[in-house]
């Protein structure tokens, strides 16, 4: 398990899937804002590709996020779009509703940076998020990410186009002392 100051990133356990499905993906508004496509219902017990880990898929590394204090599941985190040639990847995370606003997001981003830069040897990490996702913007900027662009009206979310912010962090700009 990779650890930060308050959270750990570990392999996805079978018992995590129903919790993540119910609290993140069955919530139409939350899922519509987090996904790059339209929400659709997933039958219970199906192999939902957002949740069930495919060990053969090399371009994505999914984690379950747990509180270090008690081991309680608080969300999901992913290093995705891994490009070994250009040594870059994207960061994504989703916190359960009860875990939001507690600083976990900042810690999750820090641990993902450690994983990307130290464990994987990447040169660049990138985040794309909706312009009104202030929690993710704060978590990214507290970890040294820089706003590199605004993608105007680029995300279709529940009947309207929303702006997205593009943030990036290079290995040489990353502050190791703020991570595990």
Residue 161 CA: distances (Å) to CA of 25, 101, 131, 133, 151: 21, 26, 11, 14, 11
Residue 58: the pLDDT is: 78
Compute φ and ψ for 66, nearest 5 degrees. -125, 150
Nearest to 24 by CA among 98, 127, 82: 98
Residue 178 pLDDT > 50, yes or no? Answer: no
H-run or E-run covering 150 = strand 146-157
DSSP 119: I
Percent of the chain with pLDDT over 90: 72
Residue 176 pLDDT > 80, yes or no? Answer: no
pLDDT band at 177 (very low <50, low <70, confident <90, very high): low
Could you write out the DSSP letters of every residue in 11-64?
PPPTTHHHHHIIIIIS-HHHHHHHSSS------TTS--TTTS--TT-TTEEEEE
Residue 148 CA: distances (Å) to CA of 43, 80, 171: 39, 19, 16
Q: Which domains does the chain have, with CATH numbers?
A: 2-178 (3.40.630.30)
CB of 81 within 8 A of CB of 71? no
Residue 49: the pLDDT is: 64
- The pLDDT tens digits for 98-157 are 999 999 999 999 999 999 999 999 999 999 999 999 999 999 999 999 999 999 999 999
- The pLDDT tens digits for 71-80 are 999 999 999 9
Distance between CA atoms of 164 and 11, rounded to whole angstroms?
A: 29
CA 75 to chain centre: 9
Which two tokens mark 82? 């891994």
Distance between CA atoms of 126 and 81, rounded to whole angstroms?
A: 10
pTM, two decimals, is 0.90
- The pLDDT tens digits for 13-56 are 999 988 998 898 888 888 888 887 888 887 777 777 667 776 76
**CA 20-164-147 angle, 5° bins:** 105
Distance between CA atoms of 72 and 60, rounded to whole angstroms?
A: 24
């Amino acid at each position: 398990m990779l650890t930060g100051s308050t959270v750990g990133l570990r392999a996805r356990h079978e018992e995590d899937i129903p919790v993540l499905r119910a609290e993140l993906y069955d919530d139409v508004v939350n899922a519509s804002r987090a996904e790059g496509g339209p929400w659709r219902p997933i039958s219970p017990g199906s192999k939902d590709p957002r949740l069930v880990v495919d060990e053969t898929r090399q371009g994505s590394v999914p984690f379950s996020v747990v509180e270090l204090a008690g081991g309680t599941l608080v969300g999901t985190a992913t290093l995705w779009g891994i490009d070994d040639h250009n040594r870059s990847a994207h960061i994504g995370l989703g916190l359960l509703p009860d875990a939001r606003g507690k600083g976990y997001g900042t810690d999750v981003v820090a641990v993902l940076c450690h994983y990307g830069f130290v464990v994987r040897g990447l040169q660049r990490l990138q985040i794309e998020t909706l312009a009104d996702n202030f929690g993710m913007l704060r978590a990214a900027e507290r970890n040294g990410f820089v706003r590199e662009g605004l993608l105007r009206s680029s995300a279709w979310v529940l009947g309207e186009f929303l702006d997205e912010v593009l943030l990036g962090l290079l290995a040489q700009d990353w502050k190791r002392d703020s991570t595990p």
